[in-house]
């Protein structure tokens, strides 16, 4: 009985008081619990934060918090879409602005979840690592008193053997000094046989099976599977480094795209990008100073009946200047074969057509001349775009239409039937209107804003539709100007980016997979061997095993095989379920 046990008289007192008319036990005042205090509250909070349940909740919360970043337009990726969203939904837009929905990944609440998850993982890893280091230095657990209660058990009768002297150490591990030590440990047993040779043989067999062996007085304790916990630690540490890599990439990385017409160039500065996104810690000076010029672009498509129109080759011949004081060099840029400038990579991610047009105004002056990028709309590269001549006088001109690389006109209207430029044609509609004051508000270069413009019409009042082949030109009605289709060229879309955290993330993911494999396939197991001697009759070897991973596959067989190798007869194999033991020969 401990000091908190209640005497029988005291335990019966409440019932006596209730029978005597006193207050029932439930009405008795409960003892006041001690207060946690500031330090206790901090300990309780830290324990809850570093629990695995909290880590899983935070991981799930981080995944949920990232969803708005893909559903709501982000200011760093598409500021125009953010402005349009706010203009169309002023009330919701104002709320989103206050709570940081337009910059989710740099918002305070997202950073808070991220940092809490990071802290939770670190707080979970440190005590487990310390416990693991302590376990590595510790000896295997001592041999249990009753081996026959273990999940796997076998016993075998020893053959006659000569007593042998027992050394003090075996392989640097402690061993009994003499058989008298065994007698002291088991005073009820006699000294008919010396168990040391059997134990040494058991220790050698277990070492061959990669067990850590501790030869004790009268028994052998062995353990293996330490890599399982090492795998768990590697997995959790890898998750921390994944978070670190993502944070580094989010803070210092950038990504942007640019359309470059063949014959033109790209210089790595912000003005050259069509769209650009960067981390909070990124600075313009972090851009690697390189430039490239697209000299030619070779593209080939399948012309056979099988997979007709499928891409077979995309290759851009480029001239590169790696740094301002370096000379140009010739190289090629292909899909999945990027160019590298330090940590910055340049990928080829798309291509299309750019019609070459010349527009003259009513005064006969060239208002626009050059390539115009049209964007592909389908697999046959039916491309849509707009041609703008805001400097035409006395009225500005605008055109909107389609470029068809292999054009046909049938019941479905003008369309392209093959992605290569086998029969190119340009179909446009035309508008005119007074000059527009420049406001500095960005416009979509691939679409024509017809506000304030009047559409050209035929003499019968139907809208004017212009169809042009390379070299064709058309005068606009009422002498307002002309448009000429000079030919076509190609453009390529390049993606320039630097994600400094990617190497860390890839290495961490590889280590996480390794750790997961170790934790799944390494089976921690303990085995004990004891020799029981008797005053009369043969000695008996007992072998017990315990699988710490709740996976007893092969454990019974391993125990039986070890027992059979130590004794001179067939082992008796025992299994225990609860407190009951069954044995079979």
pLDDT value of residue 103: 86
One domain, residues 368 and 462:
yes
pLDDT value of residue 569: 62
Is 378 part of a structural domain of the chain?
A: yes
Q: How far apart are CA 435 and CA 430, in angstroms?
A: 15
One domain, residues 337 and 360:
no
Residues (pLDDT < 70) of the chain are 1-29, 33, 77, 159-194, 534-537, 550-552, 568-570, 574-585
Give the 3-state DSSP-derived string for 382-401, with helices as H, strands as E and coil as C.
CEEEEEEECCCCCCEEEEEE
One domain, residues 292 and 346:
yes
Model's pTM, two decimal places? 0.66
Whole domain around residue 417: which residue ranges? Answer: 354-488
What is the DSSP track for 96-136? HHHHTGGGGGGSHHHHHHHHHHHHHHHHHHHHHHHHHHHHH
pLDDT value of residue 56: 84
311 neighbors 299 (Cβ within 8 angstroms): yes
Q: How far apart are CA 190 and CA 197, in angstroms?
A: 17
One domain, residues 301 and 368:
no
One domain, residues 282 and 363:
no
pLDDT value of residue 331: 95
pLDDT value of residue 160: 53
One domain, residues 344 and 359:
no
Q: How many H-runs (helices) and E-runs (strands) does the chain carry?
A: 11, 28
Handedness of CA 228, 230, 234, 235 (dihedral sign): positive
One domain, residues 359 and 480:
yes
Number of domains into which the chain is organized = 4
The token duo for 232 is 């768990």
One domain, residues 503 and 467:
no
436-457 residue pLDDT tens:
887 777 788 888 989 889 999 9
Q: How far apart are CA 578 and CA 270, in angstroms?
A: 73
């Amino acid at each position: 009985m401990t000091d908190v046990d209640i005497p029988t008289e005291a335990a019966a007192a409440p019932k006596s008081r209730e029978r005597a008319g006193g207050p029932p036990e439930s009405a008795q005042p409960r003892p006041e619990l001690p207060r946690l205090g500031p330090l206790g509250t901090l300990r309780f909070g830290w324990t809850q934060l570093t629990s695995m349940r909290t880590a899983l909740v935070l991981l799930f919360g981080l995944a949920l918090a990232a969803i708005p970043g893909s559903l709501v337009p982000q200011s760093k990726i598409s500021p125009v879409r953010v402005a349009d969203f706010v203009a169309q939904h002023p009330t919701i837009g104002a709320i989103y602005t206050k709570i940081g929905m337009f910059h989710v990944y740099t918002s305070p609440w997202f950073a808070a979840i991220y940092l809490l998850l990071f802290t939770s993982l670190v707080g979970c890893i440190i005590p487990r690592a310390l416990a693991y280091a302590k376990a590595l230095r510790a000896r295997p657990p001592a041999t249990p008193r009753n081996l026959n209660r273990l999940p796997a058990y076998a016993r075998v009768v020893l053959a006659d053997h000569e007593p042998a002297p027992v050394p003090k150490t075996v392989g640097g591990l402690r061993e009994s000094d003499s058989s008298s030590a065994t007698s002291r440990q088991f005073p009820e047993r006699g000294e008919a046989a010396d168990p040391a040779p059997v134990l040494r043989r058991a220790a050698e067999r277990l070492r061959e099976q990669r067990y850590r062996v501790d030869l004790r007085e009268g028994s052998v304790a062995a353990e293996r599977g330490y890599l399982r916990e090492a795998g768990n630690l590697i997995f959790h540490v890898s998750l921390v480094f994944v978070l670190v890599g993502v944070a580094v990439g989010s803070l210092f990385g950038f990504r942007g795209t640019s359309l470059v017409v063949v014959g033109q160039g790209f210089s790595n500065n912000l003005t050259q990008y069509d769209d650009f996104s960067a981390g909070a810690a990124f600075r313009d000076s972090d851009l690697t100073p390189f430039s490239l010029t697209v000299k030619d672009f070779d593209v080939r498509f399948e012309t056979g009946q099988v997979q007709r129109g499928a891409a077979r080759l995309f290759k851009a011949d480029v001239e590169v200047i790696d740094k301002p004081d370096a000379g140009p060099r010739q190289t090629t840029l292909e899909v999945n074969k990027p160019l590298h400038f330090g940590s910055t990579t340049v990928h080829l991610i798309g291509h299309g057509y750019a019609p070459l047009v010349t527009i003259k105004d009513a005064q006969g002056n060239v208002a626009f001349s050059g390539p115009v990028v049209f964007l592909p709309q389908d697999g046959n590269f039916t491309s849509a775009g707009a041609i703008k001549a805001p400097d035409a006088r006395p009225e500005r001109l605008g055109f909107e239409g389609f470029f068809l690389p292999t054009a046909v006109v049938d019941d479905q209207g003008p369309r392209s039937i093959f992605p290569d430029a086998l029969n190119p044609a340009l179909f446009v509609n035309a508008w005119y209107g007074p000059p527009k004051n420049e406001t500095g508000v960005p416009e979509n270069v691939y679409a024509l804003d017809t506000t304030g413009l009047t559409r050209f019409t035929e003499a019968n009042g139907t809208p004017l539709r212009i169809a042009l082949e390379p070299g064709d030109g058309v005068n606009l009605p009422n002498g307002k100007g002309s448009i000429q289709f000079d030919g076509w060229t190609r453009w390529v879309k390049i993606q320039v980016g630097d994600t400094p955290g990617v190497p860390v993330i890839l290495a961490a993911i590889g280590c996480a997979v390794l750790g997961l494999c170790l934790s799944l396939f390494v089976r921690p197991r303990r085995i004990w061997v004891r020799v029981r001697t008797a005053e009369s009759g043969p000695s008996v070897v007992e072998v017990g095993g315990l699988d710490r991973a709740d996976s007893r596959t092969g454990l019974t067989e391993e125990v039986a095989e070890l027992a059979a190798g130590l004794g001179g007869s067939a082992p008796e194999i025992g299994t225990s379920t609860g407190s009951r033991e069954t044995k079979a020969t």
